[in-house]
Amino acid sequence: MKKTILLIGLFLALSGFQACGPVIVSHRLADPPPPWFYPNRVETVRYVFFPEFSIYYDLSTRNYIYLDSGVWRRNRVLPSRYRSYNLNRSRYERVHNYYDDNIERYHNQNNSNRGRSNKSVSRKNN
């Protein structure tokens, strides 16, 4: 009788978890993701990029990574100049298929020209 009740309880608990939404696979499963990160499917990512601020977040070490005076910094909290922004409302992009510790290499290959002005580009007038 106790086994039956235990099995039914276990089944209901597992069914309830299935309806909770997406599953995040990270290097440190014990730590929940930050509140602004809510993926819509099962995926493995290490970094999240906030293009408006040029900030990365490392899900495995739980650090923000940002460029400060030409040096890449890692910090558990946002720098003071960004603390007034609400990351829950900010657009972010998941960095797929990049798990290396050196985010500078990824940034230089993929995001180094973002946010730059194109005023120097000549355009033909029609």
Decide: 77 and 65 in contact? Cβ < 8 Å: no
Q: What's the pLDDT at 119?
A: 42
Decide: 73 and 84 in contact? Cβ < 8 Å: no
Task: Please give the structure tokens belonging to residue 59.
Answer: 């899900």
- Number of Cβ within a 10 Å radius of residue 91: 9
Q: What's the pLDDT at 118?
A: 42
Provide CB contacts within 8 A for 100, sequence distance 6+.
106
- What value does the mean pLDDT of the chain take? 75
C-alpha 76/C-alpha 61 separation (Å) is: 9
Residue 125 clears pLDDT 50, i.e. is over it: no
**Per residue in 86-116, pLDDT tens?**
888 889 999 988 999 999 999 988 876 665 4
The whole model's pTM is what? 0.59
**Per residue in 1-52, pLDDT tens?**
777 776 676 666 656 555 444 444 555 445 666 766 665 555 688 999 999 8
Structure confidence at residue 80 as a pLDDT band (50, 70, 90): confident
C-alpha 34/C-alpha 98 separation (Å) is: 19
CA dist 68 → 71, 74, 125 (Å): 5, 10, 39
Residue 71 clears pLDDT 80, i.e. is over it: yes
